[in-house]
Amino acid sequence: MNGPIPARVDTHVKDVLLGLIDHAVAAGWPLTKACAVLDLQPRRAHRWLNRRHRAELADHRPGSSLNALLPKEIEEILDLFDAWGETDRSHRRLAHRGSYENRFWASPSTVRRVLHEADLHFRPLPRPAKGKRRPFPDWASYTPNSIWIYDSTHFSRCEMTVLIIEDLVSRKWLTHHVSSEETHTQVQIAFTDALEAEGLLEAAQARAGTGLIDPDTNADAGDETRPILLAVSDNGSPMIAANTRKFMALVAIAQHFGRPSTPTDQAWIESLNGTIKAEWPHLLAITAPAVLRAELDVVRTEYNTTRLHSSIGYITPEDEHTGRGEGIRQARRDGLDRARQTRLAYNRTHRKNQ
Helix (H) or strand (E) holding 177: strand 173-179
> Please, is 70 exposed, middle or buried when counting C-beta atoms within 10 Å of its C-beta (0-12, 13-18, 19+)?
middle
Q: Please give the average per-residue pLDDT across 111-139, as a whole number.
A: 80
What are 234-292's pLDDT values in tens digits? 999 999 999 999 999 999 999 999 988 888 889 999 999 999 999 999 999 999 999 99
Which amino acid belongs to residue 264?
Answer: T
- Of the two residues 35 and 123, the one the predictor is more confident about is 35
Three-class SS state of 10: coil
In angstroms, rounded to a whole number, what is the distance separating the alpha carbons of residues 67 and 115?
A: 18
Specify the pLDDT at position 351: 76
Say if residue 133's pLDDT is above 80: no
**147-204 per-position pLDDT tens digit:** 999 999 999 999 999 999 999 999 999 999 999 999 999 999 999 999 999 999 888 8
3-state secondary structure (DSSP) of residue 231: strand
pLDDT of residue 59: 79
- Choose among 140, 124, 343, 132: nearest CA to 228: 140
Cβ within 8 Å of residue 163, ≥6 positions away:
150, 151, 152, 176, 177, 179, 182, 186, 187, 190, 238
Q: Which of 123-127, 215-219, 280-284, 342-346 has the lowest mean pLDDT?
A: 215-219
- Burial-class residue 91 by CB neighbours within 10 Å (0-12, 13-18, 19+): buried
Q: Which whole number is the average pLDDT over 90-118?
A: 94
Q: What per-residue confidence (pLDDT) applies to 217?
A: 45
User: Does residue 95 register a pLDDT over 90?
Assistant: yes
Q: Where residue 220 falls among pLDDT bands split at 50, 70, 90?
A: very low
Mean pLDDT of the chain: 89
- Among left, alpha and beta (phi > 0; psi -120 to 50; other), residue 89 is left
Contacts 24+ apart (CB under 8 A), 197-201: 198/145, 198/174, 200/145, 200/228, 200/229, 201/251
Long-range residue pairs from 277-284, CB within 8 A, at least 24 positions apart, any chain? 277/153, 278/125, 279/89, 279/125, 279/307, 283/155, 284/155, 284/156, 284/157
What is the C-alpha to C-alpha distance for residues 95 and 105, in angstroms, rounded to an integer?
7
Alpha carbon distance 113, 69 (integer Å) = 11
**With contact defined as beta carbons under 8 Å apart, do 352 and 344 qualify?**
no
Domains of the chain: 1-62 (no CATH), 71-124+324-353 (no CATH), 147-319 (3.30.420.10)
Taking the whole predicted model, whether its pTM rises above 0.75 is answered as no
Determine what percent of the chain is predicted with pLDDT higher than 70: 89
Cα–Cα dist 190/160, whole Å: 15
Sequence letter at residue 152: S
